[in-house]
Amino acid sequence: MDKALDNTLEKYVEQLISEKGQITFAEFMDIALYKEGLGYYQKQNPFGQQGSFYTSVNASESFGRTLARSFIYITKLLGLEQRFCEMGAGSGMLANDILNFVKEREPEFYEELDYLIIEKSGYLIERQKELIEKNHPGKAKWITFEELDNFNGVFYSNELVDAFPVHRVIRMDGELKELYVSKIDGALRFNPGELSTTELKDFLDNINLKVTETQIVDINLDLKRFIEAMADKINKGVMVTIDYGFEAPMLYQSYRRDGTVTCYYNHTQNNDFFDRIGYQDITAFVDFTSLSLYGSKKGLEPMAFMPQWLYLVQSGILEEINEAETDLAKASIKALIMPDGGFGTNFQAFIQGKGIDIPADFRYSRPAKDTLQDMAEFFSEQENGGE
């Protein structure tokens, strides 16, 4: 079936397990995705047709252009400094699409704009530099997460938090256990044991979650560390997190008995976590309630939470459809906002802010039904306008 894949990373994991007895799934996921030179994000282009999955960025450049509209609006409305920071920049296409829009439509804003990128994968940093330096020489600056400090501006990510490693917790015989990765009968398998850290129990208590018997929940402790750190790093600003996931009551419903962590290989989903190590993506749905609660505790307040399609429409994506020159381009933009378009149902946009008073006319406070009405009118005009 698969052409023979180099198994250096698999051997590395097995060696680690033989030394330690077992490792947490979070440790396994971190190695499988990010181990220098060998992890999934560290050695080849993981995105688009040749990779394992598409993100909204691959669907249409209008995704980035619409984000640019949003960030310019937020910056001007709230009087922020002209500074964008993107974390988890992937191929660099999102940054490139955003910068193209700003340069073309708001040249003065572009002149003043600082564009910061924080990326974990050394391999992807090189890919990002190749693309962005060619089109926007000297415009973007790559920094580490630690270097981000006293931030004033708009900070954002698309499909970053779903790529953070997760711990797997299960309730067995009434007790919470963690699922470790062990070698059993010659193969890597899940093995229940005591919780590796009390932070897991604290995380569940924080959202009042009662895990039901034999239910598995995937706990993203890095999400907590990330949002708490961000609250300290932002002096005045807005954080936009776009990803798939739900609020906790929906995400951890007991009918999702097996958690949400899953793999993608060649555009096909599978749950063979220990196959093709380093050659397939591993990802889990994002818990937006925890993002909100841990942020709020440190002064990063929720400003708006909505489905991605609504965020894009409120940010001006209908203008993009109007301006698109071909039917194909229009169709790929529509895929971003139609429920059957693939990015319609599970994807959310969450806006948090620090040091900000939300103005009464903030466009993202507008009721969804008004925006739906606008959409209905827009599409009926488009139909009537066509031949």
Ligand X SMILES: C[S@@+](CC[C@H](N)C(=O)[O-])C[C@H]1O[C@@H](n2cnc3c(N)ncnc32)[C@H](O)[C@@H]1O
Residues in touch with ligand X (CB under 6 A): 41, 47, 55, 57, 87-90, 94, 118-121, 124, 145, 158-160, 163-164
Shortest distance (Å) from residue 291 CB to ligand X: 15
Shortest distance (Å) from residue 356 CB to ligand X: 24
Which segments within the chain are labelled E, that is strand?
23-24, 83-87, 114-118, 140-142, 151-158, 167-172, 175-184, 187-193, 216-219, 234-246, 262-265, 268-270, 281-283, 286-287, 301-307, 347-354
Closer to ligand X by CB, 27 or 119: give it. 119
Shortest distance (Å) from residue 376 CB to ligand X: 29
What is the separation of C-alpha 222 from the centre of its chain, rounded to a whole number of angstroms?
13
Strand partners, 263: 270, 282
Three-state DSSP class for residue 376: helix
Three-state DSSP class for residue 176: strand
Determine the angle formed by the axes of helices 221-233 and 288-297, rounding to 10 degrees: 40
Closer to ligand X by CB, 22 or 42: give it. 42
Residue type, 335: A
Closer to ligand X by CB, 222 or 319: give it. 222
Phi, psi angles (nearest 5°) of residue 148: -70, 125
CB atoms within 10 A of CB 162: 22
Shortest distance (Å) from residue 192 CB to ligand X: 27
Shortest distance (Å) from residue 57 CB to ligand X: 4
Shortest distance (Å) from residue 169 CB to ligand X: 21
CA angle 27, 162, 69 (to 5 degrees): 145
Closer to ligand X by CB, 78 or 333: give it. 333
Closer to ligand X by CB, 89 or 170: give it. 89
Closer to ligand X by CB, 75 or 308: give it. 308
Closer to ligand X by CB, 124 or 313: give it. 124
Q: Measured between alpha carbons, how far is 364 from 154 in angstroms, rounded to an integer?
A: 15
Shortest distance (Å) from residue 333 CB to ligand X: 16
Q: Measured between alpha carbons, how far is 212 from 172 in angstroms, rounded to an integer?
A: 9
User: Which residues, in sequence order, are CB contacts of 311 under 8 Å at separation 6+?
Assistant: 70, 242, 304, 349, 364
